[in-house]
Structure 1
């Protein structure tokens, strides 16, 4: 059994669990909703975006419903432990956050539109929690795959902060960091498309109700 910290606090690299050199499971080959491959290499012309916004079950469903999204998968990112297990991430001793990898067609949905969806679908001011979910693994984050993504994410954070402040909300705690060096480790098969397999399952995702002025959200799938 893992010891949970009373107050959420990220571990240092020295404190983090060691992990393992190989995963203990095989990631499913296909998305249960979209039907496309979960793991790359992806078709030419598609782009990758990584977001963390609380429990990844609801976060993943938020993105797979959007037109232009080719596939999604959940995993652990931003930490130190190699090939982490869910229980280890929940212990707070790996440094990871629950993340969603979004593979999208920029000809149909832009990165700016995905950022708008990201900001509006959770409360980015809550630090190491999201709603009733408390822990470092629930922190808000954007891990970028290009200088263009980094610039767009930073600009949208600034814009959304103005909107939040004008509505009486606090300071955004979302970390924006390059994905390079912060490896995305796919989560266990049971977590992939969890809310498709368990339609009545828990979803802790909920926004502030404040619209993000940047971009225009794409139409949602049914």
Structure 2
């Protein structure tokens, strides 16, 4: 089975009933990434290797906390090693907890589309496999609608720049997010010289979509 072939639910690894134990303390700002305080909103994205993706979001003004994990697949409470086999169906994902009075979901979508290549299918740069596919996990109808609007606008923006590439980002309903192991949380803060494969196409969304 190729790394770029999506495993079926029937053939996916079974996983386990017990989740990993985390302290929930964000290594960058000390926030609790396991629980969101009142007045905050949560978004979930997959845009390649989650190390660089998480750093992208924790650097945004208005983002209170972030965490990395696995979503979009079938295996319950998978390990990183299992996800790397391609037999879980999960993509590497980032949980973003933000203050909507400071940063909007549309602005997060702009970060998402502009800072990675959403046209590559089952890969992101040199990282190849279903775990690196581009995904937006919408927690409600409003997020789903805004995500679809942003995707359509970004497709037009790419065409306007002469990039005849079809966006492969999957927009799906959020179901479950499995936290990754502690050593992966805020990885590039703990390992400043660590690998980051994040890179965009140099094309921006129209400003009106970020209001």
**What residue is the counterpart of 1:136 in the other structure?**
130
1:173 to 156, 159, 168: 168
CA contact (8 A) 1:116 1:214 kept: no
2:68 and 2:103 map into 1 onto residues whose CA distance is 20
In structure 2, the partner of 1:20 is 16
Deviation at 1:216, TM superposition (A): 7.3
Instruction: Identify the residue that residue 156 of structure 1 maps to in structure 2.
Output: 150
Contact 1:19 1:84 in 2 (8 A): yes
Shift of 1:29: 2.1
Which one of the candidate residues 197, 205, 208 is aligned to 1:212?
A: 205
Counterpart in the other structure of 2:34: 39
Name the CA distance, whole Å, in 1 between partners of 2:70 and 2:93: 6
Q: Does 1:119 align with 2:109?
A: no
TM-score by length of 1: 0.91
List runs of 5+ in structure 2 lacking aligned partners.
Answer: none
Q: Counterpart of 2:7?
A: 11
Structure 1 residues 214 and 148: CA distance shift in structure 2, 3 A: farther
Report the CA distance between 1:166 and its aligned residue.
1.9
- Superimposed CA distance per residue, residues 74-107 of structure 1 (whole angstroms, 9 cap, x where no aligned partner): 0000000000000110100000000000000000
What is the TM-score normalised by the length of structure 2?
A: 0.96
CA displacement at 1:34 relative to structure 2 = 1.8
In structure 2, the CA distance between the partners of 1:35 and 1:7, relative to structure 1 (3 Å rule), is closer
Residue 6 (structure 1) shift:
3.0
The alpha carbon displacement at 1:168 in A equals: 2.7
Give matches, 1:45-64, under 5 Å.
45-64=39-58
**Unaligned stretches of 5+ residues in structure 1:** none
1:117 to 1:215, Cα distance in 2 relative to 1, 3 A: farther
Equivalent position of 1:101 in the other structure: 95
Cα pair distance change 1:195/1:7, threshold 3 Å: closer
User: Relative to structure 1, is the Cα distance of residues 155 and 107 closer, same or farther in structure 2, using a 3 angstrom cutoff?
Assistant: same
Runs of 4+ in 1 over 6 A off after TM superposition: none
Structure 2 contact 50–68 (Cα < 8 Å) conserved = yes
For residues 120 and 215 of structure 1, the distance between their equivalents in structure 2, rounded to whole angstroms, comes to 15
CA RMSD, Structure 1 to Structure 2 (Å): 1.4
